[in-house]
Amino acid sequence: MKPVIALIGRPNVGKSTLFNRLTKTRDAIVADFAGLTRDRHYGNGKLGKLEFIVVDTGGFEPDASSGIYKEMAKQTRQAVAEADVVLFVLDARAGVSAQDHEIAKYLRKLGKTSILVANKAEGMAEGARLAEFYELGLGDVQPISAAHGQGIKPLIELALGALVPVGGDDSEEVSDPDVIKLAVAGRPNVGKSTLINTWLGEERLVAFDLPGTTRDAIAVPFERDGQRFELIDTAGLRRKGQVFEAIEKFSVVKTLQAIESASVVLLLIDATQGVTDQDAHIAGYILESGRAVVVAVNKWDAVDEYQRELVKRSIETRLGFLKFAALHLISAQKRQGLGPLWESIGHAYRSANCKMPTPVLTRLLLEAVQFQTPKKSGMYRPKLRYAHQGGMNPPIIIIHGNSLDHVTDAYKRYLEGRFRKEFGLIGTPLRIQMKSAQNPYGNSEDS
C-alpha cells in the first residue's frame, strides 16, 4: 500500500499550499471532469517513482473541547495515528507559538515519526530565525516555501526515507490476475457493515484466511460462483470466532488505502441523505486513482418517491463525472437488489483490464474522425493518425498525430464515447492521451 503523509499544524501556516504542491492539484488528471469536488483534504503525491497519500488535517487545536474545533481535533488525531509520517508545518516568519508547543507535546507523546517543516522560509537565513523551532523537541527543522516550491523535494525524500522499506522489492505485492480485489467505500453509517456482513453470510460465499497481508490491513479472500475475490477492509472488519464481521467504523486513511489497493470499488450512497460532500470527495479520489467503480444507493426501501427523485438528481449533478459507472438501487438490510451488484463488479473489472488491439483502435479512430472532424484552431487543424493502448486498469489509449494539443475536451469525450461503445467499457475510467509529432510544420494545411 502507498505510505501516508499527514500534514498537521495550526491554521494559516500554509498546509493547504503544501498539500496542493505535493499533490499537484491544479494539474490533476481529473480537472476536465465537470462537477468534481476540488476542496478535498486528501490526494495522491508522487516523487519520481515513489507514490504516497497526503492528508491535510486542517487547523489543529489539541485541547479543543467543544463544537467544530473538537470534531476537527478528533479527525486530526485519527489521521495522525494512522499516518506513516507526520509533517508538522510551522510559520517560519511568525515563529513558535503557544499552540505550536501544544501540538509538539502531543506529537512527542504519540511517538509518531514527525518532521518539523518551517514554511514561508523563502529569502530567510537558516540561522537564528529557525533556531527557536528546535525548542519544540522534535529534531531538525526543514525550511521550505510551499508557495514557491523551494525545499519540497528534499523534504519528501526525508519523509519517505524514514519509512523502511519504501518502494523496494520487498514491498512489492504480486497480484493474482484471477482475483478481484474489492473495496466497499462510503462515509459512516451508509450501510457498509450491513452489506459486507450480508455478503459474508451467504452460503455461496466462502471466506478463508490469507496469510501475509501487509500493514495490518484485514483482507478477506472469498469465492462466489467460481470467481475469486478479496474483500479489502474499509468498514472495520474484525474476527469473531471463526468468521469475520464488519463494524461501522470510518477511517479516511483506510478508505484511501483500500481504494488504492482495489481492483474495483463499490461506492455506497445513503438514500436517506443523498450525495454529500464526503461522498463526492471519495468519488473524486476513486476517479483520480483510476479505479473501476460501481455505485450503489443503499436504504432505497426507506425513502418515498419524492426523496428518490431528489437522490437521482443529486447523483446526476454531483457525481456526473462517474456517469460511466453502473448504478444500483439496493437495500442491504432487506437483501434487495444485491444479486446484480456482482454482475456489475465483474463487468467493471473486465472493462478495466480490457485489451484493445492497435488495428481496431486505429480503425475506430479514423472512422470517428471521418464522421466528425475535429475543429480547426487558428491556422492548424488537429490530425489524428493512429491509436494504440498505453495501459490497463484503467485503460489508456494513446493517439498520435499533429497539432493534438488543439484537440478540445469535447472532442476527447466524443472519442471516448466511440471507444466505450465498441469495447463495451462500463465501470472504468478511460484515459485518452494525445501525442503530437515533433515536426511543427507537418500540418499547416486545412484538410
Domain limit, last residue, from 322, 352, 382? 352
Domain limit, last residue, from 169, 191, 218? 169
Q: What is the pLDDT of residue 421?
A: 95
308 and 183 fall within a common domain: yes
In CATH, what number is assigned to the domain containing residue 376?
Answer: 3.30.300.20
pLDDT tens readout for residues 33-76: 444 444 457 788 887 777 888 888 766 665 655 555 555 566 67
Question: Residue 445: inside a domain, yes or no?
Answer: no
Q: What is the pLDDT of residue 138?
A: 85
Using CA atoms, how far apart are residues 380 and 442, in angstroms rounded to an integer?
Answer: 10
Q: What is the pLDDT of residue 403?
A: 86
Q: What is the pLDDT of residue 343?
A: 93
Crossing angle between the packed helical segments 67-82 and 98-110, to the nearest 10 degrees: 40
Residue ranges for the chain with pLDDT beneath 70: 25-40, 58-75, 125-129, 162-176, 202-219, 233-251, 438-447
211 and 338 fall within a common domain: yes
Question: Residue 108: inside a domain, yes or no?
Answer: yes
Domain tally, the chain? 3
300 and 424 fall within a common domain: no
Domain limit, last residue, from 352, 370, 389? 352
Question: Residue 443: inside a domain, yes or no?
Answer: no
Using CA atoms, how far apart are residues 164 and 166, in angstroms rounded to an integer?
Answer: 5
Question: Residue 442: inside a domain, yes or no?
Answer: no
217 and 233 fall within a common domain: yes
Beta strands in 271-373 (DSSP E): 292-298, 326-329
Question: Residue 444: inside a domain, yes or no?
Answer: no
Question: Residue 405: inside a domain, yes or no?
Answer: yes
Grid coordinates of 291: 479505479
264-270 and 179-185 beta bridge pairing = parallel
Residue pair 383/401 in contact (Cβ under 8 Å)? The answer is yes
98 and 218 fall within a common domain: no
Task: Calculate ∠ Cα 345-347-353, nearest 5°.
Answer: 105
Q: What is the pLDDT of residue 330?
A: 95
Question: Residue 385: inside a domain, yes or no?
Answer: yes
Residue 435 to residues 22, 112, 384, 431, Cα–Cα distance (Å): 26, 45, 10, 13
347 and 205 fall within a common domain: yes
244 and 138 fall within a common domain: no
Question: Residue 447: inside a domain, yes or no?
Answer: no
Beta strands in 65-218 (DSSP E): 85-91, 114-119, 141-143, 179-185, 206-207
10 and 155 fall within a common domain: yes
Domain that holds residue 24: 4-169
In CATH, what number is assigned to the domain containing residue 13?
Answer: 3.40.50.300
36 and 130 fall within a common domain: yes
Q: Comparing C-alpha atoms, which of 262, 264, 430 is closest to residue 356?
A: 430
Using CA atoms, how far apart are residues 98 and 24, in angstroms rounded to an integer?
Answer: 32
Q: Comparing C-alpha atoms, which of 192, 202, 255 is closest to residue 225?
A: 202
pTM of the model: 0.73
Using CA atoms, how far apart are residues 277 and 371, in angstroms rounded to an integer?
Answer: 40
257 and 367 fall within a common domain: no
Using CA atoms, how far apart are residues 13 and 144, in angstroms rounded to an integer?
Answer: 12
135 and 233 fall within a common domain: no
289 and 431 fall within a common domain: no
Residue 416 to residues 39, 188, 372, 397, 398, Cα–Cα distance (Å): 27, 34, 13, 9, 12
Q: Compute the mean pLDDT over every residue in the chain, rounded to the nearest whole number.
A: 80
